[in-house]
Amino acid sequence: MPRLISPSLLAADFANLQHEIEMINGSQADFLHLDIMDGVFVPNLSFGIPVVKAARRISRKPLDVHLMIVEPDRYIAAFRDAGADWLTVHMEACRHLHRTVQEIRERGMKAGVSLNPHTPVSTLEEIIPFIDLVLIMSVNPGFGGQQFIETSYEKIRKTRELIRKTGSAALIEVDGGVDLHNAERLFEAGVDILVAGTTVFSAPDPVGMIESLKSR
C-alpha cells in the first residue's frame, strides 16, 4: 500500500503562507490538506474559499479539501472552482450522501467521506463502492494538536476489511494526533494517507519530518 502524507495547512504560519506552501511543494508530501470549518458543524472557524484559491495558485500538490461544515452540498461547485482536487464531506453532515458524492465526482473531483470518532464504520457500507476516500477522524474535529484516540486503530482495520470485502478502491486517510510515534502503526493498520499538521509545521525541519513520516 502507498505511504502518503497530506500536511494540514491549518497548522501553518498564516503570516508566511506562500513560503509554507512553497516548502510543501519542495517536499515529499503527496497532497496539501485544507480543513474548512464553519463554527457550526465544529466549534471552530478556520478559512474558506479565498484561501483555497490562494493555495491553488501556489501549490503544486493536489488540494485535499476537508469540509467540516453544515450543508456542504451548497458549496461543492464553489470549492471545485476554487481548485479542490479531492473533496471530503462528513457522513454526519449529509442528509442525502449518495447525491452529494455523485455531484462531487460529476464535477471532476475525487469524493471522500469522513467519520467522526463516534460514528461506526458500518455506516459506510452503502456508500463505500462510490467513493475514493474514507477519512477517519482520530480526534474530535475542530482543533489541531489534540491527543490521538487509541480506538482509531481498530476502526481503521474495520474500514480496511470493508474495502476488501466490497472491492472498493477507496483510500483510507487518518487525521488527528498523527506523529512519529504512531505513524508506523497507522500504516500497518491499513492507512494510506496520514494527515499531519502540528507534527509537520512545528518541526524544526518540516521537509525532513515529512520524509520521516513516509518512511515509518
State the catalytic residue, choosing from 30, 38, 132, 175: 175
State the catalytic residue, choosing from 35, 38, 132, 192: 35
Do 185 and 157 touch, CB atoms closer than 8 A? no
162 three-class SS = helix
Provide the Cα torsion 51, 71, 132, 159; round to 10°.
120
The answer to whether residue 35 is catalytic is yes
d(CA 179, CA 18): 24
d(CA 47, CA 50): 8
In this structure, what DSSP letter does residue 147 have?
Answer: P
The answer to whether residue 38 is catalytic is no
81 three-class SS = helix
Cross-strand partners of 133 = 112, 171
**Quick one: which H or E segment has residue 102?**
helix 97-106
Q: Hunting for cell 508566511 — which residue is that? A: 16
Which residues are marked as active site? 35, 175
